[in-house]
Chain A
Amino acid sequence: EAGVAQSPRYKIIEKRQSVAFWCNPISGHATLYWYQQILGQGPKLLIQFQNNGVVDDSQLPKDRFSAERLKGVDSTLKIQPAKLEDSAVYLCASSLEGRPLFFGPGTRLTVL
């Protein structure tokens, strides 16, 4: 069974630039999550989708972050404009109802 796929793996941008991350969840997993992980901390939920609807985006900085999940499968997370404090690893995860999360490899973002 293929795992969660993410791209790119690494991205370096200047502050105020925009960036987008892509995620393909495990086939059949209805719930998709985007997490932000700052070095030395645990993952922090940014947004949670159930199929193609948003379940929880209470911690998403909506003035600069946006996310969508097309046709209930792939998802993209965008940051525009980026700030220095957005430097982190962005993790995508998916799950079945009542089952553990399975994570992708993450995208390491560096904002200069």
Chain B
Amino acid sequence: EDQVTQSPEALRLQEGESSSLNCSYTVSGLRGLFWYRQDPGKGPEFLFTLYSAGEEKEKERLKATLTKKESFLHITAPKPEDSATYLCAVAGNNFNKFYFGSGTKLNVKP
């Protein structure tokens, strides 16, 4: 069964303290892995798509990487405005079917 597990559930960082969020997955024929950011009271906002192992994408302080079993979202020198829940999703053989993890709630203290 296709499955996505994110860790940790919650992460507290001091401003400027770099860290990584993990998304491990089992899926039949990975077609894409997606990272989203969700602020309280809002819908998830698309960040990145990764299609194959070894691929990397960057946006400001965020960098997403992909291996055959997991993806990491690296946050470099985070700021309080990076505080949010980060969701990971995968699409398998049926590209239009997406499986979501439970998310990592990131809190960055000034």
Contact = CB atoms under 8 A, between A and B. Distances in A.
A97 B97 CA distance: 10
Interface residues of A, number: 26
Interface string A1-31: 0001000000000000000000000000001
B49 interface: yes
B75 interface: no
A50 interface: yes
Interface string B25-63: 000000110101000011111100100000000000000
A101 B98 CA distance: 9
B20 interface: no
Contacts of A105: 42-43
Given A41-B102, A43-B44, A31 B96 contact: yes
Given A42-B87, A42-B103, A91-B43, A98 B34 contact: no
Given A31-B96, A97-B95, A101-B34, A42 B101 contact: yes
B34 A100 contact: yes
A97 B89 CA distance: 16
A100 to B, nearest CB: 5
Contact of B102 (A4, A40, A102, A108): A40
B32 to A, nearest CB: 8
Interface string A39-66: 0111111001010000110000000000
Contact of B96 (A48, A106, A108): A48
Contacts of A50: 96
Interface of B: 4, 6, 31-32, 34, 36, 41-46, 49, 87, 89, 95-98, 100-103
The 6 lowest CB-CB distance pairs between A and B, nearest first, are A103-B43, A42-B100, A42-B102, A106-B43, A103-B44, A98-B95
17 contacts: A33-B98, A42-B100, A43-B44, A43-B100, A45-B97, A50-B96, A56-B97, A98-B31, A98-B32, A100-B32, A100-B49, A101-B34, A103-B36, A103-B45, A103-B46, A106-B41, A108-B41
